Amino acid sequence: MSGFPILDLVVGMIFIYFLLSVISSSAVEMILTGLKARSKILEEWLNRIFDTVIKEDGKEKTVGQIIMDHCAVIALSAPGKAPSYIDAKNFTSALIEKLTYDPQNPTSIAANINDIITALKNTTLLSTEMQRALLGYAYEARDTYAALSMKTISEIEYFRGKVENWFDTSMDRLTGTFKKRFSRPVTLLVAIITAIALNADSIAITKYLYNDPEARAKIVAQAYQTANDSTYIKRLNELHASPQDSVTLQQIKGDINKSLQNINEANAALTSDIPLGWKSKTNTAITVGVVITKITGLLATILAIFMGAPFWFDLLNKISNLRGTGTKPQSSSDDDDKK
């Protein structure tokens, strides 16, 4: 405890919000993994950018589907379906291989930037807009290479770097789309379900911790211990890490089991003393004021959960660091002055 009841109360509430957010975030990851939301966003983007339809293996496919099926990126995803994640280098390799492929000489590859420029000018796989953009990268790479006095990498590597940078920038924008279309709505829904199912009333919990110093001290001690626990840092990183492969049934099971473990551990940290759960109170009259207070308390919890576990964990760490900062020790020169 800090000796300041209000500060301890704030720390206790932050810790409870953090644990509830861990439960919510784990549930959200389970849902999004099961829905394969990331792969759907990536597939939609590939088919939109590379929408030229060609015939391959007797079937009509978009160039986006062909890139998805390329050996450099396909992993374990179904034919014509995008994995959850594509590395920029693998994407660039697949794109260049398809653009420079010569059916008359299947084993030939682009030896220099001029070969790539020629292939880009003659290709029918790209829209005019995409063709011009890639040609611009190719010309820039050639000019940059020519201007260098010390040449450490090839012209093609400069070109690859520009394409990889474009791809990474596009993936950053897709992350925003993913959050808007899937992550945030699902997080809000799960936050509502979590708050109502657990009856996590912020007002009731605040009153309880304020009126019970022993329970407050117990929660605060857990909070400061958690702030220095590297296990939680690792867990948060796992929750928000980008998937490195396509999602298979086995991977879905593994992710769900991991999320369930996170939920169980967070739930266990919510001690039984905290007023959670729907318990009948026959001596409490249901009035308009009681209903409004209950709704307000639940809405506050929903908003807190929606903020996310990383937000509350960072806040808890900052308070913990401030708590651990004491008065500056006197230097030896100060001691000498006093003598």
Question: What does the CA dihedral 297, 302, 304, 305 come to, rounded to 10 degrees?
Answer: 140
Confidence of residue 156 (pLDDT cuts 50, 70, 90): very high
More confident residue, 229 or 261: 229
The answer to whether 151 and 141 are in contact (CB under 8 A) is no
Residues 220 and 98 in one domain: no
pTM tops 0.85: no
How far is residue 145's CA from residue 148's CA, in Å, rounded to a whole number? 5
Residues 159 and 240 in one domain: no
Q: Which pLDDT tens digit goes with each residue over 183-224?
A: 999 999 999 999 999 889 999 999 988 888 888 888 888 888
Give the model's pLDDT for residue 116: 94
How far is residue 297's CA from residue 241's CA, in Å, rounded to a whole number? 32
Residues 155 and 267 in one domain: no
Parallel, antiparallel, or unpaired: how do β-strands 53-56 and 59-62 relate? Answer: antiparallel
Confidence of residue 29 (pLDDT cuts 50, 70, 90): confident
Would you say residue 30 has pLDDT above 90? Answer: no
Give the model's pLDDT for residue 265: 59
Domain boundary among 147, 169, 191: 169
Give the model's pLDDT for residue 273: 65
Instruction: Identify any residues that bridge with 53 across adjacent strands, giving them in sequence order.
Output: 62
> In the numeric block, which tokens belong to residue 41?
């966003």
**Number of independent structural domains in the chain:** 2
Domain boundary among 149, 169, 189: 169
Give the model's pLDDT for residue 249: 43
Q: Is residue 319 part of a domain?
A: yes
> How much is the mean pLDDT over the chain?
81
More confident residue, 315 or 234: 315
Residues 314 and 180 in one domain: yes
Give the model's pLDDT for residue 254: 55
Give the model's pLDDT for residue 3: 60
Confidence of residue 282 (pLDDT cuts 50, 70, 90): low
The answer to whether 127 and 52 are in contact (CB under 8 A) is yes
More confident residue, 273 or 24: 24
Range of the domain at 91: 38-169
Give the model's pLDDT for residue 232: 65
Q: Is residue 109 part of a domain?
A: yes
More confident residue, 318 or 265: 318
Confidence of residue 327 (pLDDT cuts 50, 70, 90): very low
Q: What's the rounded mean pLDDT across residues 143-158?
A: 86
Residues 115 and 69 in one domain: yes
Would you say residue 258 has pLDDT above 90? Answer: no
Q: Is residue 120 part of a domain?
A: yes
Confidence of residue 324 (pLDDT cuts 50, 70, 90): low
Element containing residue 263 per DSSP (H, E): helix 249-269
Residues 120 and 200 in one domain: no
More confident residue, 244 or 321: 321
Give the model's pLDDT for residue 237: 65
Q: Is residue 331 part of a domain?
A: no
Q: Name the phi and psi angles at 56, rounded to 5.
A: -140, 130
Residues 9 and 52 in one domain: no
Residues 194 and 309 in one domain: yes
Domain boundary among 152, 169, 186: 169
Residues 49 and 61 in one domain: yes
Give the model's pLDDT for residue 300: 96
The answer to whether 145 and 158 are in contact (CB under 8 A) is yes
Residues 216 and 280 in one domain: yes
